[in-house]
């Protein structure tokens, strides 16, 4: 499509627009769509009642003047390659890490554009302390033709162990599971499964839409762990902590049963360690899924209530012990039924082999050689 022709995005009216927005419509590349909220663009460049703002799809520079915009797009320095360092690349989708200190203007323009679709975003100009990760799709027929579909940001140093500060999939590309891809990358980049890594989550409080998206992401992450994670490994094939886990026959079986289902106990904290999730996020997901059953125990023993990190979980038949005389059980069959009912794709949205550089999976042959040589 020629650069001076614009197609209206199908999601243009997917969210009610705020009455105080200063820009009604935006053109990103060759796509025209509505804005949702007010953004702090300089008033000397963008008026209080702008009908259409033109935004470069490569660097997010903006103009109310169509000719100035078209002139810029012919010369944009990022026209063929995004800025920053590529950290993920899989089947046309890539993620690039951009340091806000090194690419200050890019990060500021991206933040101003994002505010048109985020109600509570507050950082626009002080970007030096943030890293930005843009999601890019590259045309398989032309390596120089790419589109930025969304992004997430995170603080370089988060005292609250946040692995994400802000996330947005641009309106024309929403409802394509791309948010889950970005969330999955954010968890990987927190290095939670490595020694010295951090188990964290998104910055709080979450918006209503953000909480809904994350709850679903956590639900699917936990369901993959219960259904696909073999003993001693999570769904992605990596070894997990199972120091206090134990396997034993399931209690409460019917008399005369020929065999008893295997049962594995673990605490909620251990589920979090196996999936890279905070304890409170594990609990929130289990509650929303509605797969936890009560199981009375004949033994009276002190156990922490459900919101505790010491709550015990049984993973093959599944169980989370809640009270002194009662256990909360998570059965694999219930998890499977939940996954089918909600049409969950048990494949991880992030391909482990797609990570590059320091995030690339370790080669097993190299690991064996290091072990043999005593390194």
What token pair was written down for 159? 């005292």
**What's phi and psi for 315, nearest 5 deg?**
-100, -30
- Angle, in degrees to the nearest 10, between helices 268-275 and 279-289: 100
Distance CA 198, CA 160 (A): 10
What token pair was written down for 170? 């641009």
Q: Please give the angle made by the CA atoms of 186, 191 and 195, to the nearest 5 degrees.
A: 165
Per the annotation, the verdict on 203 as an active-site residue is yes
Instruction: Find out whether 238 and 245 touch, Cβ atoms under 8 Å.
Output: no
Q: Choose, from 97, 203, 265, 270, the residue flagged as catalytic.
A: 203
Query: What residues contact residue 14 under an 8 Å CB cut-off, 6+ apart?
Result: 171, 174
Task: For residue 153, give the nearest of 76, 72, 95 by alpha carbon.
Answer: 95
What b/e sequence results for 59-75 when a residue is b if at least 16 CB atoms lie within 10 Å of its CB, and e otherwise? bbbbbbeeeebeebbee
Can you say how many angstroms the Cα of residue 364 is from the centroid of all Cα atoms in its chain?
27
What b/e sequence results for 88-102 when a residue is b if at least 16 CB atoms lie within 10 Å of its CB, and e otherwise? bbeeebbbbbbbbee
Task: For residue 325, give the nearest of 294, 293, 297, 306 by alpha carbon.
Answer: 297
Instruction: Find out whether 321 and 328 touch, Cβ atoms under 8 Å.
Output: yes
Task: For residue 170, give the nearest of 187, 182, 156 by alpha carbon.
Answer: 182
The answer to whether the bond into 205 is cis (omega within 30° of 0) is: yes
- As a residue count, the chain comes to 375
> Please, which contacts does 7-15 make with residues 24 or more away whose CB atoms are closer than 8 Å?
7/31, 7/32, 8/32, 8/33, 9/33, 9/171, 9/172, 10/172, 11/171, 11/172, 11/174, 11/175, 12/171, 14/171, 14/174, 15/117, 15/171
Q: Catalytic site residues? A: 203
């Amino acid at each position: 499509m020629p650069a001076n022709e614009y197609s209206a995005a199908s999601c243009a009216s997917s969210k009610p627009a705020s009455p105080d927005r200063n820009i009604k419509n935006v053109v990103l590349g060759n796509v025209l769509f509505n804005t949702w909220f007010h953004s702090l663009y300089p008033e000397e460049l963008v008026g209080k009642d702008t009908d259409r703002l033109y935004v470069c799809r490569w660097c997010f520079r903006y103009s109310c003047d169509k000719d100035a915009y078209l002139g810029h797009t012919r010369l944009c320095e990022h026209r063929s390659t995004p800025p920053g360092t590529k950290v993920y690349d899989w089947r046309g989708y890539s993620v690039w890490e951009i340091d806000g200190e090194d690419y200050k203007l890019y990060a500021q323009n991206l933040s101003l554009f994002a505010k048109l679709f985020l109600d509570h975003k507050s950082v626009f100009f002080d970007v030096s302390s943030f890293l930005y990760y843009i999601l890019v799709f590259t045309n398989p027929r032309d390596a120089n033709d790419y589109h930025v579909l969304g992004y997430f940001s995170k603080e370089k140093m988060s005292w609250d162990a946040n692995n994400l500060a802000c996330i947005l999939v641009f309106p024309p590309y929403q409802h394509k599971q791309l948010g889950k891809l970005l969330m999955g990358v954010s968890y990987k980049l927190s290095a939670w499964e490595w020694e010295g890594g951090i188990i964290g989550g998104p910055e709080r409080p979450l918006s209503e839409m953000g909480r809904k998206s994350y709850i679903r992401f956590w639900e699917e992450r936990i369901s993959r762990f219960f259904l696909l994670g073999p003993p001693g490994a999570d769904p992605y094939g990596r070894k997990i902590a199972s120091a206090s886990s134990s396997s034993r026959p399931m209690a409460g079986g019917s008399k005369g049963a020929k065999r008893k289902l295997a049962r594995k106990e673990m605490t909620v904290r251990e589920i979090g360690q196996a999936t890279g999730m905070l304890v409170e996020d594990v609990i929130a997901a289990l509650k929303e899924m509605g797969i936890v059953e009560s199981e009375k125990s004949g033994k009276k023993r002190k156990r922490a209530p459900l919101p505790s990190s010491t709550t015990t979980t049984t993973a093959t038949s599944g169980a989370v012990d809640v009270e002194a005389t009662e256990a909360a059980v998570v059965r694999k069959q219930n998890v499977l039924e939940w996954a089918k009912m909600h049409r969950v794709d048990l494949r991880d949205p992030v391909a482990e082999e797609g990570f590059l550089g320091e995030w690339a999976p370790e080669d097993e042959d190299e690991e064996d050689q290091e072990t043999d040589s005593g390194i």
